[in-house]
Structure 1
Amino acid sequence: MKVLKSRPALRWLVPAAAAVVVIGGGAAAGTIVANADPALPERSAAQLLVDVQNAKVDGLSGTIVQTADLGLPALPGITGGSGASPDLMKLVAGSNTARVWYAGEDKVRLAVLGALGETDVIRNGSDVWVWRSSGGSATHYRIPAGKGEHEQQKPALGVPTTPKEAADAALAAIDPTTAVSTTGAAKVAGRDAYELVLAPKDTASLVGQVRLAIDAEKHIPLGVDVYAKGANAPAVRIAFQQVSFAVPDAEQFTFNPPPGTKVETPSESELRDKQKQAAEELQREAGKAEAEAPEGTKVVGKGWASVFVAKLPTGDQEAGAGLKQLTTVAGALPQVNGTWGSGRLLQSALFSALLTDDGRILVGAVAPEKLYEAAAQK
């Protein structure tokens, strides 16, 4: 929704409501065998954390498959109905496939295979291409000399698309509310791996545990599973289905636009302007998000059991369009009420969301009762 673009604080609603998507994704059933025993030497959780932080490979290529089954009801424009997006439906209840090639920080290619076509992001030295087959369009960027070498790389599509990105997101969440341990060795894409387990200490969280499969030799994450409390199968998974640590051929990073492709090539000044705008936006969100947040925005609770609360904006055209879409979705949800008021409830295996009739939205990886408690704190 466009309303999220103009209200930085409201962007928290998306990762909070889809926390499992941000942390995980999936591999085809059977690629992770939790009880396999490749007779690996014992390693503690602390040792595995150090291994991941120090991991470095010269190259790799492979196929990554994401699966999710959040148990969501049919929602207009999301998981059901004529207006539903096929790619979004697969993100919350289905699978997605991507290919990845890596030969160093300046030679990377990611190809995401969607329901309506393929999207490729390719970096080859100072050249960066973004190609979308569905629209027959490509954008060619030139990275100015001295830029990009030491900048932290972000997920190309805004959400984790590789096990490493998903694992980084999970590891970043480690704090005193998280128990860290290990479990039996695993097999992922035919390779021996250790399992690092992150679990909420607060029993109020719907998340049971997050399991990271760490390659026994290369020490990089091969897969991430997110389990709901009490579940025997992951609700969300992202993992390599096939992986090779041979350095890919240089031709994998050479892109030649197919005939008829509309190519956009921003000038260096346009690229600098875009980088400046992106930097300014990040700065605003980091330093001024709280000041720009709508009145009533807050976080109730701590850690895995925290609940994000926001009062939806009103009064401008852009917000009105977004709220209309949200209202359409909410109309398909069951109505609930209590001493806190009344509203509509969305439940899944890993999170709950409450849209109140007085214009608030509450999201958390908790049972509805926790949302109701937070809603009562007006």
Structure 2
Amino acid sequence: MAPNDSAHTTEEARDLVAGRRKAARYLVPVGVAGVAAATIGLVPALAASGDPDLPKISAQQLIEKIAASDAQQLSGTMKIKTDLGLPSFGGLGSFAPKGGAGKGGSSASPDSKLMELASGSHTLRVAADGPDKQKLSVLDNASEYSVIHSGADVWAYDSASNEVYHSKRAPGGVREGRPGKAPEALPATPKALAEQALKAVDPTTSVTVDGTSHVAGRDAYQLVIKPKQSGSTIGAIRIAVDAKNGVPLKFTLAPSGGGKAVIDAGFAKVDFGKPSASTFDFTPPKGAKVTQDDGKGHEGKGHDGRAHGGKDLKGSRGEEFKGLNVIGKGWNSIARLDVPGGKGIPSAPSGKGGKGDVPPEARKFLDSLGDKVTGKFGSGTVFKTRLINALVTDDGKVYVGAVNKDALVNAANAAK
């Protein structure tokens, strides 16, 4: 086993992790689930046993090795196990997020299909040949779902429903029929996920090299990232980094509360050779329903719900989330914003013929996630997962972050 070494980066964090930004939507728990799906979309899993004897390396050198990695070609099989502590989405009916391509959406739309990666165990096949050719396939017992990016085309196919989703990019990466940049795909390699984790590294972070391992038959260093602060829901992030080319091979996120990992994912097999060109070919099967995403349903908005050129998030009725502010630093950063209309979570219908903003089954789902809390700020509900938590106050304030309930309540009290 290689000797342990440690180093701490001093670069200030540039962003909140993507999950924190997107979690602060009008119906926070569903946003949290979507964030989780986006976060794990192409994370890797399953390591082999054994500890290779590798040259000593510092944490700073290993981070630089990841950043300098230029491996753009790979193919392999990954396993993903995710436990966010979310209840089943079954029974939500039309309340659950759907694809936004064309009228009625499509079951093959990546926006809806990849939500399934937010829980349970999944087997994936991945392939990449540079920035313009990637493929991800989610394998099931009797079906397969694939997303293929080849040049200007993005195809997705769901064999279970025999539906196809298609979008096209004009030169420069702009989606045809849509202003601004096209929505970015989920990370096509483990490197992209590791880079997201490394954005959170600042003086509030401990970064160490914790020995070595074998992953998918390759020698790897173990990079461990931990918050120095208390109050974060994240206990540690462990990244197995290929000793030869610096590509992250395995990603594990352990919660501060203990128990099994929130995300445990990595390559079971990997090959850094050039994939066959035919890997990225796709022709819609005969009889398949094809939905063309012309961008009209998303005009003026980016993939995160923000108006292009603007800074405010949009609510479900087009109202703007206002007062966006970041409280605290590092791993304990909390995003604060105002719900449209100045009210808390919408109510469910009451009584026969009663009116409300949320269907009863959706209200039940929200309540199953929430804990009622009170404080100097008044009263509200804390919605919980094992990773992202959110406090929605009854007077329409939202506090969201990868922090525990007490941290959210303290932030709300301090804002008064």
State if a TM-score over 0.5 links the two structures: yes
Query: Alignment partner of 2:312: what SS?
Result: helix
Query: Alignment partner of 2:67: what SS?
Result: helix
| 1:335 to 2:372 alignment | yes
| 1:39 to 2:53 alignment | yes
Equivalent of residue 136 in structure 2, options 84, 92, 110: 110
Structure 1 residue aligned with 2:103: none
Gapped runs of 5+ residues in structure 2? 1-20, 97-111, 175-179, 349-355
| 1:288 to 2:288 alignment | no
Alpha-carbon contact 1:155-1:165 (below 8 Å) kept? no
How many Å apart are 1:260 and its aligned residue? 0.5
Alpha-carbon contact 1:23-1:170 (below 8 Å) kept? no
Alpha-carbon contact 1:207-1:365 (below 8 Å) kept? yes
Structure 1 residue aligned with 2:404: 367
- More deviation, 286-295/368-377: 286-295
- More deviation, 128-137/101-110: 128-137
- More deviation, 355-364/300-309: 355-364
Distance in 1 (alpha carbons) for counterparts of 2:260 and 2:143 = 30
Structure 1 residue aligned with 2:120: 94
- More deviation, 50-59/80-89: 80-89
Distance in 1 (alpha carbons) for counterparts of 2:338 and 2:256 = 29
Structure 2 residue aligned with 1:187: 214
Alignment of 1:77-156 (within 5 A): 78=89, 83=93, 91-113=117-139, 118-141=144-167, 143-144=169-170, 156=185
Structure 2 residue aligned with 1:173: 200
How many residue pairs were aligned? 355
Alignment of 1:1-378 (within 5 A): 10-11=24-25, 17=32, 23-24=39-40, 31=47, 33=49, 36-57=50-71, 59-72=73-86, 74=87, 78=89, 83=93, 91-113=117-139, 118-141=144-167, 143-144=169-170, 156=185, 159-160=186-187, 162-229=189-256, 231=258, 233-264=260-291, 277=300, 284=307, 287-289=310-312, 293-314=320-341, 324=358, 327-332=363-368, 333-376=370-413, 377-378=415-416
| Normalised TM-score (structure 1) | 0.76
How many Å apart are 1:184 and its aligned residue? 1.1
Alpha-carbon contact 1:22-1:166 (below 8 Å) kept? no
Distance in 2 (alpha carbons) for counterparts of 1:146 and 1:351 = 34
How many Å apart are 1:222 and its aligned residue? 0.9
After superposition, the C-alpha distances for 1:196-255 in whole angstroms (9 at most, x for unaligned) are: 222212122121111111111121111211111263742212321221122222221221
Alpha-carbon contact 2:236-2:253 (below 8 Å) kept? yes
How many Å apart are 1:183 and its aligned residue? 0.8
After superposition, the C-alpha distances for 1:28-60 in whole angstroms (9 at most, x for unaligned) are: 6x5265xx4210111111211221112122521
Aligned residues: percent identity? 37
How many Å apart are 1:164 and its aligned residue? 2.4
1:103/1:324 Cα in 2 relative to 1: closer, same or farther (>3 Å)? same
1:70/1:61 Cα in 2 relative to 1: closer, same or farther (>3 Å)? same
Alpha-carbon contact 1:66-1:238 (below 8 Å) kept? yes
Alpha-carbon contact 1:351-1:363 (below 8 Å) kept? yes
Structure 1 stretches of 4+ with a deviation exceeding 6 A read: 84-89, 151-154, 273-276, 279-283, 319-322
| Normalised TM-score (structure 2) | 0.70
Gapped runs of 5+ residues in structure 1? 1-6
1:203/1:22 Cα in 2 relative to 1: closer, same or farther (>3 Å)? farther
Distance in 1 (alpha carbons) for counterparts of 2:114 and 2:291 = 27
Alpha-carbon contact 1:27-1:67 (below 8 Å) kept? no
Distance in 2 (alpha carbons) for counterparts of 1:175 and 1:16 = 26
1:120/1:209 Cα in 2 relative to 1: closer, same or farther (>3 Å)? same
1:306/1:163 Cα in 2 relative to 1: closer, same or farther (>3 Å)? same
Alpha-carbon contact 1:222-1:240 (below 8 Å) kept? yes
